[in-house]
């Protein structure tokens, strides 16, 4: 039996660029045969709808709202929902798993960290981070190439929203440095075609099962181009 997981997903409750809400996303993924999703809304230093001048506690309440709504809907629909975030530094994005929501509340102003300090903080507390679409080319991205490979635990080598050549560069980078690989739809809208994610051999009991499977290369990438 195969177990499908989305590794990169946004909700309109939190991510300013998203169209579909958390409950709608859950229903769509359940209908398409996925076992679970990781909600990776843009953190408050990225493309977030959170008011920039709000107190930290209010920012975190806002940020967690998409995940919490997805979690509640997932419980009703039988879809596993895991917590994650997409952290941004100077236009570079890092999918982050393995931290508890309470961790964010306990670390005010972590949105100001450099990539080096963020990597150290996440790893020190047992988290995992992978650079998303490392060769993405857009006006707001200061460095249109991957960060130092020693700062990340993995690479998103296939992003359903990126051109083939961009994904190919990410795949080559991961292979060059022996980094674990993952794929994701970068879903913002349930009307978009669901084309990516990962397949596990066993159902994940926790986000740490997904992290371990990626690190041990025991996942199948849902993409014809990234194998």
Query: Residue 123, Cα to own-chain centre: how many angstroms?
Result: 16
Token match 């859950």: residue? Answer: 26
SS3 146: coil
Average pLDDT, the chain: 94
The pair phi, psi for residue 184, each rounded to 5°, is -155, 155
The answer to whether residue 72 scores a pLDDT higher than 60 is yes
Distance, CA of 37 to CA of 25 (rounded, Å): 9
Distance, CA of 56 to CA of 62 (rounded, Å): 10
Share of the chain above pLDDT 70, in %: 96
Q: Which CATH number fits domain 3-221: 3.20.20.140, 3.30.70.20, 3.30.1360.170, 1.10.10.60?
A: 3.20.20.140
Residues 57-69 as b or e (16 or more Cβ within 10 Å = b): eebbebbbbbbbb
Provide the residue ranges of all domains of the chain, joining segments of one domain with +: 3-221
pLDDT tens string 23-40: 999 999 999 999 999 999
Residue 212 CB coordination number (10 Å): 13
- Supply the pLDDT for residue 227: 41
Distance, CA of 149 to CA of 131 (rounded, Å): 9
The answer to whether residue 225 scores a pLDDT higher than 80 is no
Two structure tokens written together for 52: 């920039």
């Amino acid at each position: 039996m195969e177990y499908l997981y989305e590794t990169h997903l946004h909700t309109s409750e939190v991510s300013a660029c998203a169209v579909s809400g958390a409950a709608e996303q859950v229903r769509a993924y359940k209908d398409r045969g996925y076992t679970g999703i990781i909600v990776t809304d843009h953190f408050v230093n990225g493309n977030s709808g959170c008011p920039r001048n709000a107190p930290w506690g209010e920012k975190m309440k806002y940020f967690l709202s998409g995940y919490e709504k997805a979690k509640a809907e997932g419980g009703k629909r039988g879809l596993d929902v895991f917590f994650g975030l997409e952290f941004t530094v100077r236009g570079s994005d890092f999918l982050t798993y393995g931290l508890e929501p309470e961790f964010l509340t306990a670390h005010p102003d972590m949105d100001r960290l450099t990539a080096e300090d963020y990597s150290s903080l996440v790893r020190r507390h047992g988290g995992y981070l992978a650079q998303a679409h490392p060769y993405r080319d857009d006006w707001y991205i200061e460095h249109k190439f991957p960060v130092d490979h020693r700062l990340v635990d993995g690479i998103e080598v296939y992003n359903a929203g990126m051109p083939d050549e961009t994904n190919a560069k990410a795949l080559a980078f991961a292979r060059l440095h022996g980094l674990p690989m993952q794929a994701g739809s970068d879903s913002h809208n349930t009307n978009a075609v669901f084309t990516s994610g990962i397949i596990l051999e066993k159902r994940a009991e926790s986000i740490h099962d997904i992290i371990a499977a990626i690190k041990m290369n025991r996942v199948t990438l849902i993409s014809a181009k990234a194998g």
